[in-house]
Each structure stands twice: as structure tokens, then as C-alpha cells.
Amino acid sequence: MREGSAGGRPATAVTVTPKDTPVVFEWVGQTESSHMVEIRARVAGFLDKRVYEEGSLVKAGQVLFRIDQRDFQAALQQAKGELAQQEARWATAKANLARVKPLAEQNAVSKKDLDDATGQEQATAASVLAAQGKVREAELNLSYTVVITSPVTGLSSQAKKQDGTYISATDSLLTYVAKMNPMWVTFSLSENQYLSSMEEIKKGALRFPRGEKFIVELVLADGSIDLQQGHLIFADPSFSKETGMFLIKATMENPKGILKPGQFVRVRLKGASRPNAIVVPRRAVFEGAKGQFVWCIYKQGRAEVRHVTVGDWIGDDIFITKGLAANDRVIVDGVMMLAQDAPVKVVDKLKTAAGTPPPATAGEEAKTAAPARK
């Protein structure tokens, strides 16, 4: 029966038109700070006071904790006293050497006396250097009683120690500071996914952006899309022996602090495309005993089943990797009562009910949408 005759069942169809189609790869990833700093005490002592608000944004160089300074002040005073003693001994030794040298030139004293005076002056000079080192060490220890952040501005975490706690060298962690901008996002690619992509590229069915410069987009837990876009900065040179996964890291600008360390997000990589791809609406593809199939219209205006191999989803559409060719006409709506070789009447969109979106008519291309992975 001729296509469009009154006896055919009404249906809408699209005409297959191969074209380069963007594709988006999607994985589950997790955010992490681009610079996570451990704030540790450099000296042992009693924690005197926490001087920052937990969870607040702290500036680079801001004081976070103070350790009781009294013991360290006493140690510094003792070191300065020892330095004064050594400087006095050195002054005496220098004066003695100054007296002995002229006498040694006149052979008024023995060479041994000159050697002893010289050795005493050098020994006391070395003692002064050692005492100066002890003073410097005591000054540093005293300065370390004021624990400050590393040179980053970031979000502070909960204090690990409370006021009055004794801080030892083996238990010195006080808190963390996490840099919030930029943020890193890590995700993993399986070996099968990697090999599949390489095979598709080899066959010409997939094309990466030039220089593999993908655009990174994040979808948050509530389904909203982060307005900032990022880029890849790291790919592990080898697969993990434990998981068989390939670690990839991206950097994302985070000026408003929307992203927090530890969030689970959906990572989308944009920039790849499938050359001359065939795409049809997902609702046109059905599952049967022999796999996926679509209903097509051949020249006599009759329906036929066409078995296909499907690929990734792209919004409301789906890639067809095998089974369809250019100019094939795929039935989208009105397939419930079709049978093999049944006549089909293609409905003109102008004849649809008022107030409802018109269905696609024969000859229209399958629409494309923002691609997403299954």
C-alpha cells in the first residue's frame, strides 16, 4: 500500500542524517582541596588558647593557637646568660693572647705559652658561637609557641586539641586548613573504558578535542550544574594495581566557595565528538528477544523491524552504531499496533491537535541535545 494512504496506521517518523555529533563522557568524582595544610605544633608544651573560630575562613599568616610561653621565656633567658658568660671568657682570652704575642716575639715566654694562649682564644670564640646558637634556638622555640597557618588562605577545620592539653612531638596535629580556590576533582577511568575509547578512536568512530583539552563541567548532588568550568591537570601514568582504575584529576575555579572538600559530584568531559554519527530519539528504540530494534518505513510505505546496535545516550536521543544508514526513516511515535509489512501513514504535523506540541514528521532530523553517558 502506498505510504500516506488512508488505510495505513498513523505514525510519525524522522529521517536519518549522519553528522558530527558532540559527545559527553560522565563519571562520578570527588572534590578535594588543592592545598590541604596540616597545622602542627613545632614545640612540646601546654596549649594555652585557640584563637580562631572553627570552620571559619582564615587568612595566610593568621594566628590560630598559642602555647604557654613561660618555660620558653625562661629557656631563652638562660641561653642569653650562658652567651654573656662565654663572651666574657672570650674577651679575657683575647686580652691574654694580646699580651703573650709581643713577649713571644722577644723570646720572653716559651712557644708553648703562645700556643696555649692562641688555643684558649680560639676555644672561647667557638664557645661564643655555640652559645649564640642556643640563644637563636630558644628564640625560635619561643616564636613557635604562636602557631600560625602555612601561607594559604582557606577554610579551617575543627581543632584537634582543646585548651590546656599537653602537646607532644609525637601528637602535634592541631587542625587543618583547606584552600578553597581552586578546587580539585578526582575521578577514575576503568581499563575497559580506556581500551574501548582507544579502539573507537582507531576506527574513526570517536574524536577527542585537539590536544585532549576537554572542558570539565560538574553536576552537583541536587542536579544543578556548577557555573564554573575547569580543565584536566593530571592523569596517572599507570593503572592502580588494587582497583585497575586510571586516576584523573581536574581543577575547578571556586570563587564563591560552593564546592567543599569531599563532595561527590558528576564529572562531565566535553569536547569529544563522533564523526558522521547516527542519532535517533530514545523512544524509537525497543528491546526484543533478539536485542534492540527500531521500526522503519521502506519505500512501499510499509513498516519493517530493523535490528540495531546502540551506543551512548545524548539527552533524549541515543547513538546507533550499527543497523541504520543515511536517509533511513525511523518511526518515532505510533508503533504500538504495528506489524511487519503493515502499511504506515505518516502524520503531518499540521494536523495535530491544537495546543499540543506537533510530532516530528517524515524528513525531519533527529534532534540533538547535551550529550550524556549511560
pLDDT over threshold 70, residue 372: no
pLDDT tens-digit map of 328-358: 889 888 888 788 888 888 774 333 233 333 3
Confirm if 5 and 344 have CB atoms less than 8 A apart. Answer: no
User: Mean pLDDT over residues 292-313, rounded?
Assistant: 87
Domains and CATH numbers, the chain: 9-31+183-351 (2.40.30.170), 40-68+146-179 (2.40.50.100), 69-144 (1.10.287.470)
Calculate the CA 97 to chain-centre distance. Answer: 68
pLDDT over threshold 70, residue 228: yes
- Biggest CA–CA distance in the chain, Å, is 140
pTM value?
A: 0.67
Rounded to whole angstroms, the Cα distance separating 115 from 132 reads: 26
pLDDT tens-digit map of 262-274: 999 999 999 999 8
User: Residue 319's beta-bridge partner residues?
Assistant: 279
Average pLDDT of the chain to the nearest whole number = 84
Binned at pLDDT 50, 70 and 90, residue 7 comes out as: low
Confirm if 147 and 39 have CB atoms less than 8 A apart. Answer: yes
- Tell me which of 75-89, 230-244, 246-260, 339-353 is least confident: 339-353
